[in-house]
Amino acid sequence: MRFLKFVLIALIILRIPTVFSQLNQQIQVDVVYLASEELEGRATGTKGESLAASYIVSRMKSLGLKPGNDGGWYQSFKIPANPHMVNSAELTGKNVIGYLDRKAKSSIIIGAHYDHLGHGVVGSLAPNDHNTHNGADDNASGVAAMLWIAEKLTQQKKLEHNIIFIAFSGEEYGLFGSKAYIENPTIPKENISAMINMDMVGRLNAENVIAISGVGTSSKWNNVLQEIKPADFTFNNSESGLGPSDHSSFYLKEIPVLHFFTGQHKDYHKPSDDSYLVNYEGIEKVANIIYDIVVKIDPIKKIDFIKTKDQSKEMATDFKVTLGVMPDYVYNGNGMRIDAVLEGRAAMKAGMKDGDIIIHLAGEDIKDIHDYMKVLSENKKGDKVKAKVLRDGKEVELDVEF
């Protein structure tokens, strides 16, 4: 399997010069290295994390960034031992911080976590598979995008903001790196104008749909996004500043945030999240969009902060049941498309399959993911309901027991 992977990577690299630009090749080099077996899944506190961190430092140096933490590249932090796990010990992780100094008072932060799940166990969706969880999409893709944005921004000599680039660690254990940063920021917190986060930007689909959250955290975002949106892209915007990635840590300290995500997939948090499945051109496109956003917001004197309705928390506390599927967050059509049906759960028992589109559930029409969430919040465990899904264009009726 490893050999096969090597051959695939070699094939992809060999055909690049004829297809992609030079810089796109750099994006691929970054992802392939960060997601390689040598880094053993970049778990916080391991040798793989250190190797990844040194690599990111060397890349930042070569781009001409300065060390961002008082002359140093790293900011270390502790993750306490987990009392619910055997053999759990305190871990030390490190953020990598690069600084583009434009002698401005305020700064914009661009971030992406670089840690992943190592050989699985904590956070894995394939907990019995101890092969390396390579985390190519999650989140070597975000780091590569961040470095590409850094490369473009270093060529912008006139900026009204400094830019701080942070590769966070400790994300997979619970956003520890970003929390540590905002507790001990490298510049006064009031001087952080906005934070832009990327987590899983490596699977841009053929329809060019990007999920962007945090759009409600400033009155500026909607206009900016409309102005820079390429005609062939669809932005799936959501208001909330809270979500399962590092932007949440900044939002909670009242900093306007935007978070970019190209969608869920069946390899999420599994050893199969590999670099040969990544859409490199897609990473470049997403990164270019974020670059355009930074250039657009740079002259704005004050990017106001707005507290948003906490959607994800509401959803989590309202759920009495789950179906055991991974929704397709970037699906735009009618219904709720299932990216992946999870092993042994209600949906699988009911006979649902990856790619099914739920259009009817428990007596309700399902037009989108919000209708689906609403139905989940209204049912309880043991309820038996009917579901209707679209499979290869045909309607299929199924019996579901929550």
Q: Which residues contact Zn ion (rule: CB under 5 A)?
A: 138-139, 199
Residue 246 CB, shortest distance to Zn ion, in Å, is 9
Residue 58 CB, shortest distance to Zn ion, in Å, is 23
Residue 351 CB, shortest distance to Zn ion, in Å, is 31
| Cα distances (Å, whole numbers) of residue 91 to 124, 157, 197, 358, 391 | 18, 40, 24, 42, 46
Of 139 and 178, the one with the shorter C-beta distance to Zn ion is: 139
Of 177 and 335, the one with the shorter C-beta distance to Zn ion is: 177
d(C-alpha 305, C-alpha 194), whole Å? 9
Of 123 and 355, the one with the shorter C-beta distance to Zn ion is: 123
Q: Tell me the DSSP string of 327-377.
A: E-TT--SSSEEEEEEPTTSHHHHHT--TT-EEEEETTEE--SHHHHHHHHH
Question: What six digits make up the tokens of 51?
Answer: 């190797």
Residue 352 CB, shortest distance to Zn ion, in Å, is 26
- Chain centre distance of CA 229: 20
Of 20 and 329, the one with the shorter C-beta distance to Zn ion is: 329
**Which residue reads 């990856």 in tokens?**
354
214 within 8 A of 283, measured Cβ to Cβ: no
d(C-alpha 360, C-alpha 233), whole Å? 28
Of 139 and 379, the one with the shorter C-beta distance to Zn ion is: 139
Paired with 121 in beta bridges are none
Of 200 and 224, the one with the shorter C-beta distance to Zn ion is: 200
Residue 12 CB, shortest distance to Zn ion, in Å, is 23
Of 138 and 284, the one with the shorter C-beta distance to Zn ion is: 138
Residue 197 CB, shortest distance to Zn ion, in Å, is 10
3-state secondary structure labels for all residues of 325-339: EEECCCCCCCCEEEE
d(C-alpha 71, C-alpha 58), whole Å? 15
Of 165 and 372, the one with the shorter C-beta distance to Zn ion is: 165
d(C-alpha 326, C-alpha 319), whole Å? 15
Of 8 and 126, the one with the shorter C-beta distance to Zn ion is: 126
Question: What six digits make up the tokens of 314?
Answer: 């509401």
Q: Which amino acid would we find at residue 374?
A: K
- Helices within 20-79 (DSSP H only): 22-34, 47-62
Residue 87 CB, shortest distance to Zn ion, in Å, is 24
- State the pairing for strand pair 192-198/257-261: parallel
Residue 310 CB, shortest distance to Zn ion, in Å, is 20
Q: How many residues in total does the chain contain? A: 402
Q: Is 75 exposed, middle or buried (0-12, 13-18, 19+ CB in 10 A)?
A: buried
Residue 138 CB, shortest distance to Zn ion, in Å, is 4
d(C-alpha 79, C-alpha 91), whole Å? 5
Of 111 and 185, the one with the shorter C-beta distance to Zn ion is: 111
Q: What are phi and psi of 64, to 5 degrees?
A: 90, 15
Tell me the Cα Rg of the chain: 21
Residue 140 CB, shortest distance to Zn ion, in Å, is 10
Paired with 196 in beta bridges are 110, 258
